[in-house]
C-alpha cells in the first residue's frame, strides 16, 4: 500500500463541488474580508464550544499573541509553557516582550504541573498549557496553581477543537485560547487561519479592534493594532467542513481505537490513551503519537512499506533551539522527543489501511 501521512489532494476531491460553489458565491458577492461567512462561522464555533466569543484571525500564532497582549502580558513578565510544543507557542510570548519559560512534559505529552510549580518566580505572570494532539491537560491542577500564585492562564488549544476535560472544552479554562485551521488540522482550511476563544468581555473588545489595525466600526483608531483577519473565503471553506465536524471527531476516535486494539500488546511501544480510557478526557485525536526507543528504525521500516509517518517539529523541543537563548535542561521532554513518532490518522485513512500499518509495526517487532 501507499499511505501518505496526510493526503491533501484526497481531502479536496471529496468536497470539490462544494468548494467550487463557495468560490463562485463569494466571488460573485465580492465578499472577501470580514463578511457574513466569517461572522456566521464565528457564531457556530462559539456555540459548539459553549464559549461566549470566537474571533477569526490570520492564524493561531497571531491568536495567542493577541490574547497575551490583550491580557496585559509584556516586557518584564515571564510566561511558563511546555517545551513539548511548536515554536509558535514560545514566539507568541516572545513578541509581546515577555520571556517564554519552557518546562517539562509529563507522560501524557502535556505540561507537567509539578514542573510549573518549580518554574514560578516573582516575574511569572501567566501559564500557557498546550492542549496537544487533541487532548486537554489536567486543568484542575493547573488552575489551582494559577489561583494560588495569582497567575493568568492562556491555552494553546490550536490542536484541540472540541476536546474536553471534565465536560469543558479546550480554550475555555482561562482568559482565552486559540484554534488553528492549518490544512492538516481536524478542521482545516486551504492556508493559514485561526481563532481566538474567550469568555472575557474586555479581552474580546480589545481583540476585535486589534485584529483590524485597532479600528472600530466607526472607523476611529483607538488602540495600536495588527492586520490579522481570517479571510472570508477561508471561513466559507471552514463552514463546509464544520457541517461534518462531529462525524470527523467520531471517525478519528474510531481510528485511534483501532490502533489501540491492534498495538496495545506490543511491550516496546507506549501508546496514547484509548478514547474511552478516562471519562475525564474527551480526546479528538488531532495526532496519534506513539513512543518507541527504536523510533528511527521503525520510521524507516514503515517508509519501506509505503507508510508515511511524521516526527513532530523535526524532533526538537522548543528549549533545544539553543540559538534562541534557551539554557534549560529538561530530561523527560528530551527523551520524549527522541522516541516519539506520529502514525497516519486523518479522514482519508481507511480501516484496511490502519490494519496494514499495524501489521507492519508488528512485523518490525517480530510479533
Per-residue pLDDT of 98-117, as tens digits, reads 999 999 999 999 999 999 99
Contact 94, 100 (CB under 8 A): yes
Q: Is residue 2 part of a domain?
A: no
Question: Which residues are bridge partners to 290 per DSSP?
Answer: 341
With bands split at pLDDT 50, 70 and 90, how would you rate the model's confidence at 163?
very high
20 lies in the same domain as 92:
yes
Question: Which residues are bridge partners to 212 per DSSP?
Answer: 227
Show the cell assigned to 4: 501518505
Q: Give phi and psi for 275, each to the nearest 5.
A: -55, -30
Q: Which of 207, 242, 277 marks a domain boundary?
A: 242
Contact 118, 127 (CB under 8 A): no
Q: Residue 186's closest CA among 41, 59, 347?
A: 347
- pLDDT for position 121: 98
Is 90 exceeded by the pLDDT of residue 37?
A: yes
How far apart, in whole angstroms, are the C-alpha atoms of residue 198 and residue 124?
Answer: 22
Q: For the residues 47-70, what does the mean pLDDT come to?
A: 98
Q: How many CB atoms are located within 10 Å of the residue 82 CB?
A: 28
Q: For the residues 308-332, what does the mean pLDDT come to?
A: 97
How far apart, in whole angstroms, are the C-alpha atoms of residue 138 and residue 165?
Answer: 8
How are beta strands 194-198 and 176-180 bridged, if at all? antiparallel
How are beta strands 152-155 and 176-180 bridged, if at all? parallel
136 lies in the same domain as 202:
yes
233 lies in the same domain as 290:
no
- pLDDT for position 234: 96
Determine which helix (DSSP H) or strand (DSSP E) holds 152, and give its type and residue range.
strand 152-155
Q: Is residue 158 part of a domain?
A: yes
Percentage of the chain modeled with pLDDT above 70: 100
94 lies in the same domain as 234:
yes
160 lies in the same domain as 250:
no
- pLDDT for position 161: 98
Indicate the average pLDDT of the chain. 96
182 lies in the same domain as 290:
no
How far apart, in whole angstroms, are the C-alpha atoms of residue 147 and residue 94?
Answer: 24
- pLDDT for position 100: 98
Q: For the residues 184-211, what does the mean pLDDT come to?
A: 97
Q: Is residue 76 part of a domain?
A: yes
Q: For the residues 46-73, what does the mean pLDDT come to?
A: 98
How far apart, in whole angstroms, are the C-alpha atoms of residue 255 and residue 241?
Answer: 19
Predicted TM-score of the model (pTM): 0.95
Q: Which of 198, 218, 242 marks a domain boundary?
A: 242
Contact 289, 309 (CB under 8 A): no
- pLDDT for position 325: 96
Q: Is residue 287 part of a domain?
A: yes
CATH for 185: 3.40.640.10
Give Cα 68 to chain centroid, integer Å: 17
CATH for 342: 3.90.1150.10
Is 90 exceeded by the pLDDT of residue 278?
A: yes
Q: Which domain holds residue 352?
A: 245-364
Q: Is residue 103 part of a domain?
A: yes
337 lies in the same domain as 232:
no
Give Cα 271 to chain centroid, integer Å: 19
Is 90 exceeded by the pLDDT of residue 15?
A: no
The position carrying cell 496495545 is: 264
Domain count, the chain: 2
How far apart, in whole angstroms, are the C-alpha atoms of residue 133 and residue 5?
Answer: 15
How are beta strands 124-128 and 78-82 bridged, if at all? parallel
Q: For the residues 166-194, what does the mean pLDDT come to?
A: 97
Q: Which of 198, 226, 242 marks a domain boundary?
A: 242
Is 90 exceeded by the pLDDT of residue 366?
A: no
- pLDDT for position 13: 87
Residues in the chain: 367
Is 90 exceeded by the pLDDT of residue 12?
A: no
With bands split at pLDDT 50, 70 and 90, how would you rate the model's confidence at 10?
confident
254 lies in the same domain as 229:
no
Q: Residue 117's closest CA among 98, 103, 131?
A: 103
Per-residue pLDDT of 229-240, as tens digits, reads 999 999 999 999
Cβ neighbours of residue 226 closer than 8 Å, sequence gap 6 or more = 62, 66, 210, 211, 213
100 lies in the same domain as 222:
yes
How far apart, in whole angstroms, are the C-alpha atoms of residue 154 and residue 78?
Answer: 13
222 lies in the same domain as 272:
no
Cα–Cα distances in Å, from 101 out to 15, 89, 125, 189? Answer: 42, 11, 11, 31
279 lies in the same domain as 131:
no
303 lies in the same domain as 228:
no
Amino acid at each position: 500500500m501507499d499511505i501518505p501521512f496526510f493526503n491533501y489532494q484526497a481531502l479536496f476531491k471529496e468536497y470539490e463541488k462544494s468548494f467550487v460553489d463557495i468560490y463562485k458565491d463569494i466571488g460573485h458577492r465580492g465578499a472577501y474580508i470580514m463578511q457574513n461567512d466569517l461572522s456566521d462561522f464565528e457564531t457556530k464555533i462559539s456555540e459548539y464550544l459553549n464559549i461566549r466569543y470566537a474571533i477569526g484571525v490570520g492564524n493561531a500564532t497571531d491568536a495567542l499573541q493577541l490574547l497575551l497582549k490583550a491580557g496585559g502580558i509584556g516586557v518584564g513578565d515571564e510566561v511558563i509553557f511546555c517545551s513539548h510544543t511548536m515554536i509558535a507557542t514560545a514566539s507568541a510570548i516572545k513578541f509581546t516582550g515577555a520571556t517564554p519559560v519552557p518546562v517539562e512534559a509529563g507522560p501524557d505529552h502535556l505540561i507537567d504541573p509539578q514542573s510549573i510549580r518549580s518554574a514560578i518566580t516573582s516575574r511569572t505572570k501567566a501559564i500557557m498549557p498546550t492542549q496537544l494532539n487533541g487532548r486537554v491537560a489536567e486543568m484542575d491542577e493547573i488552575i489551582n496553581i494559577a489561583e494560588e500564585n495569582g497567575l493568568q492562564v492562556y491555552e494553546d488549544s490550536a490542536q484541540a477543537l472540541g476536546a474536553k476535560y471534565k465536560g469543558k472544552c479546550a480554550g475555555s479554562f482561562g482568559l482565552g485560547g486559540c484554534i488553528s485551521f492549518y490544512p492538516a488540522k481536524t478542521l482545516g482550511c486551504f492556508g493559514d487561519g485561526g481563532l481566538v476563544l474567550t469568555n472575557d468581555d474586555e479581552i474580546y473588545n480589545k481583540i476585535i479592534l486589534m485584529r483590524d489595525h485597532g479600528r472600530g466600526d466607526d472607523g476611529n483608531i483607538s488602540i495600536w493594532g495588527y492586520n490579522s483577519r481570517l479571510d472570508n473565503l477561508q471561513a466559507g471553506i471552514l463552514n463546509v467542513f464544520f457541517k461534518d465536524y462531529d462525524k470527523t471527531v467520531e471517525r478519528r476516535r474510531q481510528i485511534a481505537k483501532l490502533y489501540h486494539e491492534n498495538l496495545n500488546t506490543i511491550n516496546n511501544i507506549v501508546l496514547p490513551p484509548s478514547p474511552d480510557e478516562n471519562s475525564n478526557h474527551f480526546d479528538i485525536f488531532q495526532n496519534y503519537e506513539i513512543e518507541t526507543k527504536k523510533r528511527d528504525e521503525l520510521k524507516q521500516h514503515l517508509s519501506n512499506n509505503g507508510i508515511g509517518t511524521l516526527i513532530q517539529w523535526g524532533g526538537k523541543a522548543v528549549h533545544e533551539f539553543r540559538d534562541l537563548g534557551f539554557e534549560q535542561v529538561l530530561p523527560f521532554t528530551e527523551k520524549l522527543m527522541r522516541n516519539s513518532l506520529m502514525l497516519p490518522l486523518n479522514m482519508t485513512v481507511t480501516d484496511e489501511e490502519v490494519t496494514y500499518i499495524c501489521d507492519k509495526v508488528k512485523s518490525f517487532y517480530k510479533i
